[in-house]
């Protein structure tokens, strides 16, 4: 740690793994240290509690440490709407990898389209979303640790997974590809989930110029790390293997982790805008917000957070902290379905 480094505590929304390869690689290659940041990962918290953890930590210690959290847009917005005073500033994944996995031959796509009463296992923070998408399903709250075993034992027909990791683990265990039902796809054409691995900070901290400087330095190091991961997935996999623990959600081999890193990088590339990774597009954010919170409008302006902030449902998006300079035009926008 360099002299005078600023402490920054990061609350991830999942175990340290390939899903955060950019963070792991930036840390391993000293990018945070060079940016004057002493990065600390907070302990894994229950799904959906990340905004609460960051908010309460900032209230206890607003001066000695900078706090950043990570959540999916579909879980962050309800937390903001409930009163958690946090503001999204960037995103690691340009789309959500959220999907359902079923055993080979289970026919979950056709059964979902036919509105059969599938038994679906989900994390606590996603039960309501899945029940809305699949009103005829029986959506059961499951712990992260038990969901894959319950699927393999036939206790549920499908489980919530990311198609960058748990689907690979199921393919490894079953020696056959699982059935995958994407929540943004032809089965549910109206669904708009928005971004995943959204990075947010306490709203009050964003009013402090010194804190904004630290946050920009953190974001630059993080997305430089992701850029390195895109160019060198094998090196990123090694960085992940050095810091991830054991879990039944992945296989602890270099080949497995490297494939998972590559899949994650495909989602990270979707945030590319004007030569910068991690940028949240205001219109795409607003469109997803409207669907996720089932409201007719998510427009408006929050004057306290800068000209690039979008108020409305669930709180503001601060687009002035991270992104292209005003007036910059992306000559090669990423194609998004």
CA distances from 103 to 110, 161, 180 (A): 14, 13, 9
* 8 A C-beta contact, residue 309 and residue 317: yes
Q: Do domains 6-95+194-318 and 98-182 have the same CATH topology?
A: yes
Classify domain 98-182 by CATH number. Answer: 3.40.190.10
Residue-wise pLDDT for 266-305, tens only, equals 999 999 999 999 999 999 999 999 999 985 433 332 333 3
- Per-residue pLDDT, averaged over 130-136, amounts to 96
C-alpha 60/C-alpha 71 separation (Å) is 21
- Per-residue pLDDT, averaged over 98-118, amounts to 96
Radius of gyration over every alpha carbon of the chain, rounded to an integer in angstroms: 19
3-state secondary structure of 171: helix
* 8 A C-beta contact, residue 127 and residue 111: no
Return the CATH class of domain 6-95+194-318: alpha beta
φ, ψ at 286 (rounded to 5°): -65, -40
| pTM, entire model | 0.90
Domain boundaries, the chain: 6-95+194-318, 98-182
- Looking at the chain, the number of H-run helices and the number of E-run strands are 12, 12
* 8 A C-beta contact, residue 91 and residue 197: yes
User: Closest Cα partner for 101 from 46, 45, 150, 143?
Assistant: 150
- Per-residue pLDDT, averaged over 168-195, amounts to 95
The pLDDT confidence band at residue 329, using thresholds 50, 70 and 90, is low
The pLDDT confidence band at residue 1, using thresholds 50, 70 and 90, is very low
Residue-wise pLDDT for 22-81, tens only, equals 999 999 999 999 999 999 999 999 999 999 999 999 999 999 999 999 999 999 999 999
Which residues of 94-174 form beta strands (DSSP E)?
A: 98-102, 119-122, 138-141, 158-162
φ, ψ at 126 (rounded to 5°): -120, -5
Residue 84 above 50 pLDDT? yes
CA torsion through residues 253, 254, 259, 261, sign: positive
């Amino acid at each position: 740690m360099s002299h005078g480094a600023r402490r920054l505590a990061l609350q991830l929304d999942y175990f340290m793994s390939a899903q955060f390869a950019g963070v792991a690689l930036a840390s391993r290659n000293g990018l945070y240290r060079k940016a004057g940041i002493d990065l600390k990962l907070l302990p894994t918290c229950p799904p959906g509690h990340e905004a609460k953890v960051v908010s309460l930590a900032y209230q206890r210690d607003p001066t000695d440490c900078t706090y950043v959290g990570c959540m999916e847009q579909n879980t962050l917005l309800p937390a903001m709407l409930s009163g958690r005073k946090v503001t999204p500033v960037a995103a690691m994944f340009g789309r959500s990898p959220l999907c359902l996995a079923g055993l080979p031959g289970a026919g979950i796509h056709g059964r979902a389209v036919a509105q059969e009463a599938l038994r679906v296992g989900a994390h606590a923070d996603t039960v309501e979303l899945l029940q809305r998408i699949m009103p005829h399903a029986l959506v059961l709250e499951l712990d992260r640790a038990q969901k894959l075993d319950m699927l393999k034992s036939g206790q549920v027909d499908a489980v919530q997974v990311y198609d960058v990791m748990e689907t690979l683990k199921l393919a490894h265990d079953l020696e056959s590809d699982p059935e995958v039902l994407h929540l943004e796809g032809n089965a549910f054409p109206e669904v708009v989930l928005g971004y995943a691995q959204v990075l947010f900070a306490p709203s009050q901290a964003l009013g402090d110029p010194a804190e904004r400087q630290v946050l920009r330095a953190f974001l630059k190091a993080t997305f430089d790390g992701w850029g390195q991961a895109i160019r060198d997935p094998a090196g990123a996999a090694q960085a992940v293997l050095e810091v991830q623990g054991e879990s039944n959600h992945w296989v602890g081999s270099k080949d497995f982790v490297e494939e998972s890193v590559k899949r994650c990088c495909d989602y990270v590339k979707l945030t590319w805008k004007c030569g910068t990774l991690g940028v949240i597009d205001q219109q795409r954010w607003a469109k997803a917000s409207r669907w996720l919170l089932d409201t007719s409008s998510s427009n408006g302006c929050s004057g306290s957070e800068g000209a690039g902030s979008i108020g409305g449902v669930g709180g503001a998006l601060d687009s002035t902290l991270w992104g292209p300079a005003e007036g910059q035009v992306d000559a090669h926008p990423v194609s998004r379905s």
